[in-house]
Structure 1
Amino acid sequence: MEIMTDATVTIIGWVGFIFCTTAYLLLNFKVLRFDGTRYQVLNVIGGLGLVISAFYFDDAPNLAANGLWVLIGLFGVFRYSKRLSRLRKSNRVMDAQ
C-alpha cells in the first residue's frame, strides 16, 4: 500500500513553497524580522515540505538545497528561542528586585 501519491507530495511541495515565499515576502515588508522565531519556523515548515517533495521525486539538488535550508532555519529557531529564554529570565530577575 502506497502511503503518499504523486498528487499528495506535489501539494506538500507547493505548500512548502508558499510557506518559504510568504516568510521571505513578510520579511521584506518588515512584518517579520530575520532574527524572529516566526520567520524561522515558516522557513523550517516550508523547507520540510520542499524536502519531502524533493526526496519523493528523487531530486537530489533540490533535496540538498532545501535540507540545508531546514537546518539553517532550525539553527535560527534554536538560537532565537534560547535568546528569548535568557531575556525572560533576566526580566524576571529585574521584576523581583
Structure 2
Amino acid sequence: MLIDYIGWIGFSCCTLAYLLLNFRCIPFDGWLFQLLNLIGGAGLAIKAYNLHDGPNSSANSLWGLIAIVGIIKYFKNKMDQEIPSKL
C-alpha cells in the first residue's frame, strides 16, 4: 500500500509540474519545476519497479536524473551570478 501512495505522489508531482508550467506559474528552468519532476519521476519509477515494469521504471528513472541535472544547473548558475568574476 505504501508503494501505491508513492506512485500517486509521483503522478501528482509530474502532473502538477506540467500544469504549473503550462499556465506559466513557474519557469521551466526553475528549481520548483525540476524538484517536482524529480519527486514525480522517482515516485513513478519506484511504483513501476514494484510492478516489474522495466521500460516504465527506466523511463521515469531517467526523468528523475534529468531533473537532478536541472537542479544542479540551476544552483550552479545562481552561484555564478552571485559571485562576481574578477577581470
TM-score strictly above 0.5: yes
Stretches of structure 1 that go unaligned for 5 or more consecutive residues are 1-6
C-alpha deviations, 1:41-90, integer Å up to 9, x for none?
11001111111111111111110110110111011001111001111223
TM-score, with normalisation over the residues of structure 1?
0.83
Alignment-derived partner of residue 18 in structure 2: 24
Alignment-derived partner of residue 10 in structure 1: 4
Q: Displaced runs of 4+ in structure 1, greater than 2 A?
A: none
Alignment-derived partner of residue 46 in structure 2: 52
Stretches of structure 2 that go unaligned for 5 or more consecutive residues are none
Output the CA distance in 2 between the equivalents of 1:48 and 1:19.
10
**Residue number among 30, 49, 65 corresponding to 1:36 in the alignment:** 30
Supply the AA of the counterpart residue of 1:49. G
Alignment-derived partner of residue 66 in structure 2: 72
RMSD: 1.1
Greater Rg by CA = 1
- Percent identity reads 46
Residue 85 of structure 1 pairs with residue 79 of structure 2: yes
Supply the AA of the counterpart residue of 1:47. G
How many aligned positions are there? 85
